[in-house]
Structure 1
């Protein structure tokens, strides 16, 4: 089952928003959550892309796209 990175990001953002204090421990926790968010983004965009099938666009003999609609 693939990771839901959007959900991970949302939870980390909420956790970071709850840390409203100005003490050093709170600041350290906010920075740690920021690092986790960066790591999650890196994992999301370095994951292997899904294999997709490319469907060719229909063309006429002259190499121009065929007209399938009378609109525009």
Structure 2
């Protein structure tokens, strides 16, 4: 008996916009990127998650906002 399961995560970039402010590491411009993440199990979609990420255009670091 063989049991095979396949889990997967796919990310798709939806949009990219220039954000206000500058990178604290290098001083470069910051872009906000909207990303859709799709989790699947055995090719069946489980959930969709929309996230907004902030990335520096110069040093390509992912920036985290403190609230």
TM-score (norm. length: structure 1): 0.22
Whose RCO is larger (CA < 8 A, sep 6+)? 2
TM-score (norm. length: structure 2): 0.23
Q: Which has more strand, going by share of residues? A: 2
Q: Which has more helix, going by share of residues? A: 1
Which one has the largest radius of gyration? 1
